[in-house]
Structures are given as C-alpha cells and as structure tokens.
Amino acid sequence: MKTILKCSILLILIVSCADKNRKSPIANEISNILPILDSLNNSFEELYQKSGFPGTAISLVNKDSIIFIKGIGYADIDRKKEYTEHTIHPIASISKTFVGVALMKLIEQGKLDLNEKINDILPYNIINPFFPGDEILVKHLATHTSTIPHYFDDFEKSYWLLEPNTIKKGEIPNENYNFLISIENNKPLSLDEYIQNVCTKKGKWYNENSFTKSKPGAYYNYSNVGTSVAARIIEIRSGLSFSDYTKEFILQPLGMSNSGWFYEDVDESLLSKPFCPDNPESPTKNYVFPRNTYQGYPEGHLISSVSDLSKYMMEMLKGYYGQGTILKEASYKTLFEPQLTAENFVERDNSEFSDGYNVGIFWSISSKGYIIHNGGEIGVFSFAYFNPETGIGGIGMCNSRIYAFGEIRKLVASFEKKIADNQ
C-alpha cells in the first residue's frame, strides 16, 4: 500500500439472529479489501483537494469494527489545527436519531407509549386549530406527522443563539453579517418556553401558520419543533433533562466520551471552528463564523466526532441484527421499521439518499432501503446511514456548508458497495 490507512478490519463470523431475514454480512480475507481501502483513501484526498472544505472526515463501519476512518484538512485554518476523526462540532439533524433511541429506551422502561396523547403528558395543550378534535400522539412526533411545521415565521430572528463574537462588518459576507446582527441579542429559553412560544395560542411566535392544514397522523411534514416536543416528553417522563438522559442511556454506554449537547460538556481542544463559504457552489474562501446554538437543541445540536459516531453506528447495526446493547431487539425493530405508507406523503422523495421517503422512529428509510439521516446547519453538513443489505454503515461530517459534500456521501456509498462485493 502506498499510504497508511487509519482503519480496523476484523474477520466476521456469520451470526444467526432471531429474525432469519437479518443475517450479519461475512468478511473474507482481509487482503481482499485492502486495495479498496487504499483507493478510498486516495479518492477521498483528491475530492478534498477539489472541494473547498476547511475540514472533513468519513468512516465506514460494520457491526464489529471500524473498516475505514479518516479526517483531513483544518479545524482552524488560521492556526493550522488539523481536522481529524476526533474533531468535534455540532452534527445537525443526525441528532434527531438520538431522540428516537431515547424514546424507545423510555418505552422499554415502561414510562411511555407511542400511542399516548401528548396533551396527557405536557403541562400545556398543543392543538391543531384546523383539527381541534384530533389529538397529536407521541408517534406523530416521531414520524413527522404531528402537523407541527418544520419552521415558524419568526424562525431566523428568534431560533438561534450566538456566543459572544468580535466579527465586524466586512469581515464576512454581508448576508452572514446581517444574520449575526439579527440574532446577537437573543436570550436562551427553556424547552417549555420555546415550545409554548411556537405551538400555543398565547405564544409570541404563534400564528395561523403554526400548524399545517392536515389531520394529525395523515401526512409527513418534517418538523424541527416536533422533535423538541418529543425531547421535552422524555424529560417529563424520565425525570431527567434530555441531555442527562441521553448521556446516561446512550452516550456513556457506547463510550462516546467526546460527545455532548452543550459546548461546556465537551473538550474545547477538540472543537472545530464553524465556517461559512463565500460561495457554497464553488467556494474560494471560508470565513470563520461565531459559535452558535439554538433554542431547540435536541433538534440538531449534538456535538460529536466521526470517531464517536462510528461507535453509535456500530451499535445501530448490532441492533438491526438483533445484537444491540442499549436497546432490546423488539425496540430496534420498531426504531427501524417503516411507519408510513405512500398515502402519508404529498410529495415523496425517491432519491437514493433522501430522508424524506419513509421514516421509522426519527430514523429515516430511503427509497433504496438505507437507514439514514442527513444534517445541515450553519457551518455543518453531515450524514449517517447503514445499508441493511451489506451490513455496512457510512458517516461523514464537514465544517462548512459547501454543496460538494454530496460528493463525499456518494464516495462513501460507492466504496461501501465495493467492500461488500469483495466480502
């Protein structure tokens, strides 16, 4: 091999599962895939050089091992701080899958049922004014059919929280600077305050667009706010904050020691700066953006690394094959089982890596059958998926919203298939 790969490859035995249709894949001789991994390494480096990313990282895993993992570029351009597989920053909407796992854990503990009415749990009522007699259920939140919309009218001005910054006009593109000015004085809200402001009649952001004009449970409509409602329900029924609950039952058991929901919970030295490009389609420069979070943190603000997410993906694969450690087999089956039909979609996205084709419990199922979730926020693009047919999962993150990140996902998926073909 021409390059040294940071990878771990194990021989895998056939493992029989309770579900005979779900068998873990078989790995043959290690030598069969070493040339493939070498080619992946070279292709990743070439793509990085053309992309304009400050930094990015990828991994491929099966249920027993990390097959390939690599970070490249910079977490801090000015200081030449390397972006590695251990570099951390928010992972955007992949965070929602942790809400799904937490819901299933709470159900296992006998503290929640997916068919419960949310107004029997919350200390305030959330009612769709177009269908006041139809109750929103917990499963509607988990499948994005709650009729609570993705964004609200005052979203851009009220949703974001900005850490103190010293950026002056002219130091970043005008549109980004104007956005900073609009949010710099926002004050943090509790999840209850945030939810009530959006979803209840007395809320300051409530208006005729606070709900979609469809019956709860009828149609898929991806919802950030609905995810925060689910997280708040977890807090009420567990007696713990959402961050503490997920730490105790997901992050710590999986050894995700460099992950957390707030900046004060993670190692500052591992953090990447967030960047914004001058042009997301063909960037020539990346500008440092101030560190930020937002009111509904469970919707997309888990801070993690490709290394830690690889541990998470290995557990998801184990769970799919009936060998999970943090949830029972039946819980994993519900987590990944398609919950909707074609009738639940006004417009269905059939693309290979879409997370708008079908949904389990906050995990999406693409038209190709991938268990997947994508993410994108200020300074972030991300993806996490596994292919049930090959038993291999892929993860990717970058620290600037550059559209070439879609090519990173295609690259990972193409090599996932090449590895599977040589097993």
Mean pLDDT (whole number) for 380-384 = 97
155: part of which helix (H) or strand (E)?
Answer: helix 155-158
Q: What is the pLDDT of residue 180?
A: 86
Mean pLDDT (whole number) for 346-360 = 94
Token duo for residue 265 = 């919970």
Q: What is the pLDDT of residue 54?
A: 97
In this prediction, residue 141 has a pLDDT band, given cuts at 50, 70 and 90, of very high
Distance separating alpha carbons of residues 205 and 159, to the nearest angstrom: 11
Q: What is the pLDDT of residue 171?
A: 84
The yes-or-no verdict on residue 108 having pLDDT over 80 is yes
N- to C-terminal Cα distance for the chain? 19
Tell me how far the alpha carbon of residue 119 is from its chain's centroid.
27
Sequence-distant (≥ 6) Cβ neighbours of residue 314 within 8 angstroms: 61, 62, 63, 64, 65, 66, 393
Q: What is the pLDDT of residue 4?
A: 36
Residue 34 φ/ψ region, left for φ over 0, alpha for ψ in the -120 to 50 degree band, beta for the rest: alpha
| Residue pair 161/137 in contact by the 8 Å Cβ criterion | no
In this prediction, residue 381 has a pLDDT band, given cuts at 50, 70 and 90, of very high
Q: What is the pLDDT of residue 122?
A: 98
Q: What is the pLDDT of residue 169?
A: 85
| Residue pair 333/112 in contact by the 8 Å Cβ criterion | no
Q: What is the pLDDT of residue 16?
A: 28
In this prediction, residue 29 has a pLDDT band, given cuts at 50, 70 and 90, of low
Q: What is the pLDDT of residue 28?
A: 44
pLDDT tens per residue, range 171-205: 888 888 888 888 888 889 999 999 999 999 999 88
Q: What is the pLDDT of residue 21?
A: 45
Q: What ranges make up the beta strands (E) of 24-77?
A: 55-61, 66-76
Token duo for residue 106 = 């709470």
CATH class of 30-421: alpha beta
Prediction pTM value: 0.92
Task: Give me the residue spans of the domains in the chain.
Answer: 30-421
The average confidence (pLDDT) of the chain is: 91
Q: What is the pLDDT of residue 26?
A: 40
Tell me how far the alpha carbon of residue 12 is from its chain's centroid.
28
- Of all residues in the chain, the percent with pLDDT exceeding 90 is 79
Mean pLDDT (whole number) for 70-90 = 98
